[in-house]
Amino acid sequence: QVQLVQSGAEVTKSGASLKVSCKASGYTFTAYYIHWVRQAPGQGLEWMGWINPNNGGTNYAQKFQGRVAMTSDTSIGTTYMELSRLRSDDTAVYYCARNKGGTAPRGGWFDPWGQGTLVTVSS
């Protein structure tokens, strides 16, 4: 079955960088864009951006531009989201999700989602 499995929880310090992985299985990895979405404790969902695993093309939400980098490794079917210059308000659960309904630049929806990775940033 289609599945996205993310790396485990992380605790890190303000100012540091963090890289979360998302391994895909059950479908052709390069055929679907991957989104990253985060959720701060007790808060709503926030879209961060997408990556085209086929060619590495990306599109980031304006809020994260300059601080986020999404990459992919087609040899192992894995995408990565790296967030730099971490702050305490970056403490959140980070999700990857597959784009369905065509290529991301044309729209779509998120299905399925990874299990989430809790990132805790301490000062």
In the list 47, 67, 91, 120, the residue contacting another protein (rule: CB under 8 A) is: 47
Q: Report which DSSP code applies to 8.
A: P
Comparing CB distances to another protein, the nearer of 4 and 86 is 4
**How far, in Å, CA of 38 to CA of 107, rounded?**
19
Contact segment (CB under 8 A) with another protein among 14-22, 24-32, 74-82, 110-118 equals 110-118
Q: Per CB under 8 A, does 53 bind another protein?
A: no
Q: Which amino acid is at 85?
A: R
Q: Per CB under 8 A, does 64 bind another protein?
A: no
**Cβ 58 to another protein shortest distance, Å:** 11
56 neighbors 73 (Cβ within 8 angstroms): no
**Cβ 14 to another protein shortest distance, Å:** 26
Strands 78-83 and 18-25, by their bridges, are: antiparallel
CA distance between the termini of the chain: 40
Identify the CA nearest to 83 among candidates 73, 94, 68: 68
**Cβ 12 to another protein shortest distance, Å:** 22
Instruction: Give the binding site for another protein (CB under 8 A).
Output: 35, 37, 44-47, 50, 59, 61-62, 95, 97, 100-101, 104-105, 107-116
